[in-house]
Structure 1
Amino acid sequence: MKKYINKIFILGSLLFLGSSCESDAELTTLKSVSFPSEISVSSNTIVLTEDTAEDQALLVSWPSVSFPIEAPVTYALQFDLVGDTSGSNAWLKAKRIEVGTDVLSKTLIGQDLNKIAVDLGLPIDTQGKLVVRVEATMDRKIYSDPVTLTITPYEKSVVFGEIYMPGAYQGEWNVDTALALTAIAKGVYQGYVTVQPGYGPVFKLNQGRNWEQYYGAGATNSDLQNMSTKDFALPGEGSYQVKVNLNTLKWTATPYSWGIVGDGTSGGWDNSTPMNYDYQTKTWKITAVLVPGNVKFRLNNNWTINYGPKNTTDGIVYLDDPGAHYVGEGGTYEITFKINDVDPATTGYPPTATYTITKK
């Protein structure tokens, strides 16, 4: 009887292994996937200038790609020199721009396309050729056929200067101590401000630390009008990135707030506690009650841009680092965060920032 049982066991095992091999063969066979049609660009010949740096320069559009599995598809753009798209090192030097999930177009403004062209080595003020293709990713990566672009890049001017923002956020209007907005491009200025509870949102924009020449609101709140007595107004309480364009006589205010997050803070890991911007020292600050636990810094209450330290002694935090500052004793702490993010939209966020966490 034992002999028969052994034979049945061996036969069953062979059948199972045979079945598994057939299943594996089916699972490792990938169905061919490709772009159903060509990608399109708004223009194949583009002359870039500093005066149009913030205007739309290129729109790339593409068809939806269908994979065998029904799931979201992530798209990206790749730009490269024509000569670097063949051979064993093809596309290895390409500039890649993440677009998003199930997004079928991407617009690039002049300064962004210019940076790509210059970084890839196109000569300034001379026509040069780049190629662009679309990457689609799900269970694998596939690529569209490339499209050739003829681009004339410009050399970005070294800009200096400031304009000033006296307003109710100061508590008392004072042009001598008002926020200075720094030049980030020709005629374009940027800075950060916090409107605290009890302080008003209105302000003016001055060419110097005086009232000899200033701008107030024009036809709309976002229009600059020379020597207008009508005040501009921020959306309300909170922190903002303010950008002023004297070329177009327009200004914008975008919600922009660094905060503390972690199990040592009142919001835990889910909700940042916003900090206030001290425009005179260019430092983000908060006085907060902490419990024993961890503290990190992140922007606009999400994890897209965040900083963490490698230890609790150096006072340095690193972009997208998993580390956190551990607070061993609960109590009231004064916390500061200082970052050189003058023009993150163009140059990105710096690899490091500095901070302090001091028990009061």
Structure 2
Amino acid sequence: MIYTFLFISLFFGCKKDASTNIITPPTAGSLAFKTSVSSVVLSAATDASTVVTFNFKAASFGANVVPTYSLEFDLPADTSGANAWANAVIVKLPAGTLSKAYLGSDFNSLLANQLLLPTGTVSTLAIRLKAEVNQNTGAVSVIKPIYSSLTMAVNPYKATIEYPALIVKGGNSWKTPTVRSNGFVLTSSKFNSKYEGYLNLPNADGYGGDAFQLVSSKDATKVYGWGGTATTMNLTGGNLYLSPSPAYMKVNADVDALTITYTPVKFFISGDDNGWSTSSTPLVYNATTMKWVAANVSLTAGKTFVFTANGGYDISYKVDATGALVYSGAPTWGGINIPITKTGIFTITLDLSAGDGNYTYSVK
């Protein structure tokens, strides 16, 4: 009797242990994966706010295992076929986390910088939740992951990076903003000693042109002024005088070499639709908006154009692989011709007011 009792006890004990280790994968629906909003429009005003939260329930695999979770973000066109989700941006969630909230700035960076979604327009975003069981050894688990997917409409914006700047401080009677403002900055897009920007010098009140100094955004005690010649600067000098003036100038300064150069510019559109003329389609500078504008421009889908200056290509702008405006003139000669996607009559705008690294254009 004693032996029989021990056998029965061992049998039921083994049966109980075995039952707790049976893997029963959950269904996708049991994860109850959802988003707090079905669409979101992002802007600088939403940077510090929570714009979307993804929630789900814990995945129960029917055994004493702890699953891990990640979110995958991709374009709908990349979510099917042999390489489905291969280009997804993967965000792994901390252990025990059943939600993920995004501030506007972080979500915008994911959309615009990582997924390279177009800014200022609505796109469909595919999001997939992945629940998986990882091996302690790091080996690939034999338990297949469980997925749950959803989509939402997103409209990211092009965020302006605040690069180190030299801020224009007007001299004589030239009044300039007291704080950093578009149209009055040279920026260092590579975070080094070299600064670039475009300045509209509207007056002729200084020796040889507008009078001003350049104040470092990193150290307001560093004020760059006259260095003894038209192309040099000094930290103890008076006002800089760039001429001729009035003029719209491309300005380059090097705070290590204490040099400054300037070139008066006027911009044009050169492309397939005007036989690549560097003079027949001018842009007109609007001193109020600080943008160059060409209205009623005929464009043809499938063709391309470039922004040129002063009747040539030494100062010109194209786009890079992401569609961002980039310098393509001497001596680098890079970039891709700007593609035209629709046929029609358009207004083309070139905005160089935010300094190097933040130049933009639009075709509307």
Classify the TM-score, shorter chain.
0.3 to 0.5
Higher relative contact order, structure no. (Cα contacts within 8 Å, ≥ 6 residues apart):
2
State which structure, 1 or 2, has the greater radius of gyration over its C-alpha atoms: 2
Given the two structures, how large is their TM-score scaled by the length of structure 2?
A: 0.37
